[in-house]
């Protein structure tokens, strides 16, 4: 069917900056649709200077002819959803189905705001294990109630014609029937469209990372009211849970130390050693344990006084590391790794599920992620 008055039809597309959503937008632009992009960021994005998905979105928009872009930073509402997703988690703490539902609903709000007629995504049937198989897509459509106006141009032929196709705004014959995990067809299409600058497909957000997922699970277990601020801390350094007392983050390098300095909130305790050692942050009442861990990872030079700057809110004090803490600090990780401990390995990190400290009180004292 030929398209009719396509130029006056607006569509809102979820643009991640990856190749699939860029191609989906390209297909619709070629049919004369006015494409408006919406891009979401969350505290769980994996953006780093080397892998800046935010920069990828800017590049994608430029390659699409500088289409309008709306950026939405997901916050508390998203965190609440991650804590209690209606449709469960994937292999980590990734609630992909609820995540898609939330983003499509938000895109719909934007669609109404600008008077657009339909939504589209870069989803490819069968490409991602949790949210892109047929039952998941049908579930997402049922939950949003927007299935009839949610077009998936790359896999359109696997689904019944949507409203924009039935109305003739979009020519279904020019849409695609891609499916599965292979990316070869998309890469070939990118070549045809001269789309040359796109990121490698990422494996999802940080919620799919098993180590981060363990930290977040632990955080939810021990926190009545989760905060975005704390979630940002979970992505930095070595993370320790001290039973009944609080949590500790030890920086692994200078960058992480600076990150902890910039993230420290009004009620966080920041420890900056005045000798060669890692910046350490703790919450709760675990000063001694934090000092022990700081010292364990420190490399003080001979004769350097073991003194630390302790900041909390507006208060700042210089404190010496007590003798007893100095003794424990040398042994703390060796104790954790004693042969009778039960350890679960998660990549290069480990979780201690049982620990018997030297004072003889059994139980989980340190949990290290
Ligand atoms: S991987 Fe993360 S960002 Fe992607 S759908 Fe799943 S939860 Fe959402």
Is residue 200 a part of any domain in this protein? no
Residue nearest atom 3 in ligand 1 by C-alpha distance: 205
pLDDT value for 200? 65
Q: Are 214 and 346 in contact (CB under 8 A)?
A: yes
- Residues 183 and 255 reside in one and the same domain: no
Closest alpha carbon to 290 in 219, 241, 357: 241
Find the 9 Cα to ligand 1 centroid distance in Å.
29
Pocket test residue of 45, 94, 202 for ligand 1, highest count of atoms within 8 A of CB: 94
- Residues 180 and 71 reside in one and the same domain: yes
Residue reference for tokens 């042994």: 331
pLDDT value for 5? 62
Taking only the tens place, the pLDDT of each residue in 182-204 is: 999 999 999 999 898 787 666 67
- The ligand 1 atom at the shortest distance from the C-alpha of residue 100 is 5
Q: Are 120 and 28 in contact (CB under 8 A)?
A: yes
- Residues 186 and 245 reside in one and the same domain: no
- The ligand 1 atom at the shortest distance from the C-alpha of residue 204 is 1
- Residues 122 and 162 reside in one and the same domain: yes
Find the 340 Cα to ligand 1 centroid distance in Å.
38
Q: At CA 157, angle to CA 153 and CA 158, rounded to 5?
A: 105
The structure tokens listed for 175 are 């849409």
- Residues 143 and 213 reside in one and the same domain: no
Taking only the tens place, the pLDDT of each residue in 60-91 is: 999 999 999 999 999 999 999 999 999 999 99
% helix, strand, coil for the chain, step of 5: 40, 20, 45
pLDDT value for 338? 43
Is residue 1 a part of any domain in this protein? no
User: Over the range 199-230, which residues count as b (16 or more CB within 10 Å of their CB) and which as e?
Assistant: beeeebbbbbbebbbbbbebbbeeeeebeeeb
Closest alpha carbon to 344 in 365, 324, 369: 369
Above pLDDT 90, what percent of the chain?
65
- Residues 328 and 182 reside in one and the same domain: no
- Residues 254 and 311 reside in one and the same domain: yes
Report the predicted TM-score, pTM, of the whole model to 2 decimal places. Answer: 0.86
Cα separation, 149 vs 221, in Å, equals 39
Number of domains, the chain? 2
- The ligand 1 atom at the shortest distance from the C-alpha of residue 82 is 7
Find the 91 Cα to ligand 1 centroid distance in Å.
11
Is residue 202 a part of any domain in this protein? no
Is residue 320 a part of any domain in this protein? yes
Is residue 198 a part of any domain in this protein? no
Is residue 126 a part of any domain in this protein? yes
Q: At CA 301, angle to CA 298 and CA 302, rounded to 5?
A: 130
Ligand 1 binding residues, C-beta < 6 A: 94-96, 99-100, 131, 204-205, 207-208
From start to end of 111-258, where are the E strands?
118-120, 150-151, 238-242, 246-250
The structure tokens listed for 12 are 């809102």
Q: Which domain holds residue 344?
A: 209-368
Helices (H), 250-358: 254-263, 287-296, 323-336
User: Over the range 311-332, which residues count as b (16 or more CB within 10 Å of their CB) and which as e?
Assistant: bbeeeeeeeebeeebeebbeeb
Per-residue pLDDT of the chain (369 residues; tens, 9 = 90+): 444 566 689 999 999 999 999 999 999 999 999 999 999 999 998 865 445 557 889 999 999 999 999 999 999 999 999 999 999 999 999 999 999 999 999 999 999 999 999 999 999 999 988 788 999 999 999 999 999 999 999 999 999 999 999 999 999 999 999 999 999 999 999 999 989 878 766 667 999 998 899 889 989 998 999 999 999 999 999 888 877 788 999 999 999 999 999 999 999 999 999 999 999 999 999 898 899 889 888 988 888 899 999 999 999 999 999 887 887 665 554 444 444 444 333 333 444 444 444 444 444 445 566
Pocket test residue of 202, 207, 212, 216 for ligand 1, highest count of atoms within 8 A of CB: 207
3-state secondary structure 31-56: CCCEEEEEEEECCCCCCCCCCCHHHH
Pocket test residue of 46, 74, 80, 96 for ligand 1, highest count of atoms within 8 A of CB: 96
- Residues 186 and 129 reside in one and the same domain: yes
- Residues 126 and 265 reside in one and the same domain: no
- The ligand 1 atom at the shortest distance from the C-alpha of residue 95 is 7
**CATH number of the domain where residue 78 is located:** 3.40.50.620
- Residues 132 and 267 reside in one and the same domain: no
Residue nearest atom 1 in ligand 1 by C-alpha distance: 204
Residue nearest atom 4 in ligand 1 by C-alpha distance: 204
Is residue 204 a part of any domain in this protein? no
From start to end of 176-314, where are the E strands?
238-242, 246-250, 269-273, 280-284, 307-312
- Residues 126 and 218 reside in one and the same domain: no
Find the 268 Cα to ligand 1 centroid distance in Å.
29
**Rg over CA atoms, the chain:** 25
Q: Are 248 and 286 in contact (CB under 8 A)?
A: yes
Is residue 155 a part of any domain in this protein? yes
């Amino acid at each position: 069917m030929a398209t009719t008055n396509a130029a006056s039809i607006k569509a809102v597309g979820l643009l991640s900056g990856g190749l699939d959503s860029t191609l989906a937008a390209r297909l619709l632009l070629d049919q004369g649709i006015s494409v408006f992009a919406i891009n979401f960021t969350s505290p769980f994005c994996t953006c780093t200077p080397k892998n800046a998905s935010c920069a990828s979105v800017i590049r994608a928009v430029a390659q699409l002819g500088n289409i309008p872009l709306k950026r939405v930073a997901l916050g508390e509402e998203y965190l609440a959803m991650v804590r209690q997703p209606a449709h469960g988690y994937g292999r980590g703490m990734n609630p992909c189905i609820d995540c898609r539902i939330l983003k499509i609903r938000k895109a719909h709000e934007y669609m109404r705001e600008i008077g657009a007629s339909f939504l589209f995504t870069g989803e490819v049937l069968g490409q991602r294990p949790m949210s892109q198989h047929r039952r998941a897509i049908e579930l997402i459509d049922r939950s949003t109630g927007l299935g009839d106006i949610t077009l998936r141009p790359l896999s359109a032929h696997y689904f019944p014609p949507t409203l924009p196709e039935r109305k003739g705004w979009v020519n279904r014959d020019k849409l695609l029937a891609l499916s599965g995990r292979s990316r070869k067809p998309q890469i070939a299409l990118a070549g045809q469209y001269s789309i040359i600058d796109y990121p490698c497909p990422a494996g999802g957000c940080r919620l799919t990372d098993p180590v981060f997922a363990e930290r977040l699970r632990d955080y939810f277990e021990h926190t009545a009211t989760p905060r975005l601020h704390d979630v940002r801390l979970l992505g930095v350094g070595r993370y320790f849970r001290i039973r009944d007392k609080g949590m500790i983050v030890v920086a692994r390098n200078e960058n992480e130390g600076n990150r902890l300095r910039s993230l420290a909130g009004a009620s966080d305790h920041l420890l900056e050693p005045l000798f060669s050692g890692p910046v350490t942050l703790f919450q709760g009442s675990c000063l001694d344990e934090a000092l022990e861990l700081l010292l364990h990872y420190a490399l003080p030079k001979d004769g350097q006084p073991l003194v630390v700057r302790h900041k909390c809110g507006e208060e700042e004090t210089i404190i010496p590391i007590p003798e007893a803490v100095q003794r424990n600090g040398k042994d703390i990780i060796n104790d954790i790794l004693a042969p009778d401990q039960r350890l679960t390995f998660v990549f290069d990190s480990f979780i201690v599920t049982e620990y018997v400290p030297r004072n003889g009180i059994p139980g989980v004292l340190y949990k290290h992620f």
